[in-house]
Amino acid sequence: MREIIFDTETTGLDSREDRVIELGCVELDNRFPTGRTLHLFINPEGRPVHPDAHAVHGISDADLADKPTFAEILEDFLAFIEDAKLIAHNANFDIGFINAEFDRLGQPFVDPARVVDTLAIARRKHPMGPNSLDALCRRYGIDNSRRTKHGALLDAELLAEVYIELAGGKQATFGLEVAPAKPAEGERQAGGPVTLGSRVRPLAPRLSPAERQAHAAMVAEIGENALWLKTGHGMSEDGKQAESA
């Protein structure tokens, strides 16, 4: 199963007017990172980066001046995602911006059935929250110390680790199951009969003499109705366990 974890950075919050300026994608195969990524900076074609957005991701208008437009990166983006599931945190935001860019170019919208929102999964799994990407990294012990600013590729890489944990953890999906070893010739298989020989040296007693004496006194006080006597064991007067009957 092929999945693409992706994230966007934008010039602002309004997908009708603001533009995608960074794309980060990480490929998973059966929820295992393949090492393939796609990272693109995109020229917003005259739409300035809002100061509030710049404070979040640190990408300036000057940084984007020589970057390709969305139309110029469209083919590479479509080739990378192909027909894979698309995984994003608060996916409505990212898909809304992707669909707005597609609409400007006459490209069909992303099928909602392809989209998985990790924020919705996290809210179901951890209803008391918090469920931001940073909070989920802390919850699952994922190192996000590099995340001093939002960045599409870094966020996608962190989200890939979070998504694997939300889906049940690495060992549930990384194919770590080990087939049982075939028993050697003459070796007993699990579930077969077991024959135990006598111990060469008896185990050392686990009760102290005082404990044995106290037990014998209690049994004597109860008398012949003591359940201990009905087990086939008894205690001698000095508190030592007698031989089995």
Q: Are 27 and 33 in contact (CB under 8 A)?
A: yes
DSSP H or E stretch at residue 229:
helix 227-230
Q: Whole-angstrom Cα distance, residue 192 to residue 190?
A: 6
pLDDT of residue 241: 45
Q: Are 235 and 211 in contact (CB under 8 A)?
A: no
Q: pLDDT (tens digit, 0 to 9) for every residue of the chain, 245 residues total?
A: 999 999 999 999 999 999 999 999 999 999 999 999 999 999 999 999 999 999 999 999 999 999 999 999 999 999 999 999 999 999 999 999 999 999 999 999 999 999 999 999 999 999 999 999 999 999 999 998 988 789 999 999 999 999 999 998 764 334 334 444 454 454 444 445 555 555 556 666 667 777 878 878 887 888 777 776 766 555 444 444 444 33
Q: What digits encode the pLDDT tens for the residues 201-214?
A: 666 666 777 787 88
The counts of H helices and E strands in the chain are 10, 5
Q: Which residues of 170-206 are buried (b: 16+ CB within 10 A; e: fewer)?
A: eeeeeeeeeeeeeeeeeeeeeeeeeeeeeeeeeeeee
pLDDT of residue 127: 96
State yes or no: is 150 an active-site residue. yes
Q: Which domains does the chain have, with CATH numbers?
A: 2-173 (3.30.420.10), 207-245 (no CATH)
- Give the Å distances, CA to CA, from 51 to 56, 153, 188: 9, 21, 72
pLDDT of residue 174: 40
pLDDT of residue 217: 84
Q: What three-state secondary structure class fits 116?
A: strand
Q: Whole-angstrom Cα distance, residue 87 to residue 95?
A: 10
Q: Whole-angstrom Cα distance, residue 97 to residue 155?
A: 17
Contacts of 16 (CB under 8 A, 6+ apart): 100
- What value does the CA radius of gyration of the chain take, rounded to a whole number of Å? 33
> Which residue is catalytic, options 39, 150, 215, 233?
150
